[in-house]
Amino acid sequence: MSSIKNRKKITIQSFIQKKSKKKKITVLTAYDYFIASLLDNAGIDAILVGDSASNVIHGHASTIPITMDIMVAHTAAVARGTSKALLIADMPFLSYQPSIETAILNAGRFLKEGNAEAVKMEGGIEMFDTIKRVIEIGIPVMGHIGLTPQSIHKFGGPKIQGKKEKSKTYLMESALALEEAGCFAIVLELLESDIATEISEKLQTTATIGIGAGVNCDGQVLVTNDMIGLRDENFKPKFLREYANISPIISDAVEKYIEDVANANFPSEDESY
């Protein structure tokens, strides 16, 4: 890994360059200053302030309850810890679906108040007009198709998309529409690998970022809390690789602290004034 000072700032153009050179794009989520600075220093290409904050930070069962105000606050914190990575903010449920004007005003808040450089919106071909207009006024947009968690009740659970011909056609048409609208990237979530591969090959100027969509996407994204073991033990989808498990490390540290305080072993003389 090169020193952070020598690394180039990642922009939406970097995504397109990487895709054309067949270099994989790396994306992880962050919701706070400190984790963001760890990801940035490690050399991640982009940090997504995902509405998965609703689940992994706020303890909700879905991404539906999280609000604009909370997402903007997380984005501003992440921005303070990010210098080289592209900073993408996830637009929460009902912050962009009601009208183009709502979408522009809320996407703009992420840039003005959160210091984001791009926003992400869920939805396929039906979101074409909204996404196109937001991009036209100067806000880069990452699309998101496949299993879109804000529509979890419509899907009836985390079902793999692109199994049937009708679903494949919808996914391909949506990916092409989002490219035409000007999206610099599209998240492909929980897709059969063959359709994710076809979409990745077909798109010329839009990078595909997979999560549960196979190895042939132009890049990959994971929820950071999930890949470092900060999650419910029973949440273990097949696509998730656990790169570390810090939950027992935190539990151990807390148990030792409780014991030390209870036994008057903390603070020591050296730790006192």
Binding site for ligand KIV (CB under 6 A): 29, 48, 50-52, 90, 187, 211, 221, 223
Nearest CB to ligand KIV, comparing residues 177 and 213: 213
Nearest CB to ligand KIV, comparing residues 111 and 209: 209
Nearest CB to ligand KIV, comparing residues 21 and 154: 154
189 is catalytic: yes
- Minimum Å gap between C-beta 122 and ligand KIV is 8
Nearest CB to ligand KIV, comparing residues 7 and 97: 97
Nearest CB to ligand KIV, comparing residues 5 and 154: 154
- Residues forming a β-bridge with 88: 48, 118
- Minimum Å gap between C-beta 56 and ligand KIV is 8
- Minimum Å gap between C-beta 53 and ligand KIV is 7
Give CA–CA dist 73/94, Å, rounded.
Answer: 18
The vertex-119 CA angle with 176 and 244, nearest 5°, equals 100
- Minimum Å gap between C-beta 133 and ligand KIV is 22
Give CA–CA dist 22/219, Å, rounded.
Answer: 10
- Minimum Å gap between C-beta 19 and ligand KIV is 18
Provide the b/e sequence for 173-206 (b: ≥16 CB within 10 Å). Answer: ebbbbbbebbbbbbbbbbbbbebbbbbbeebeeb
Among residues 117, 179, 189, 192, the one annotated as catalytic is 189
Positions annotated as catalytic residues are: 189
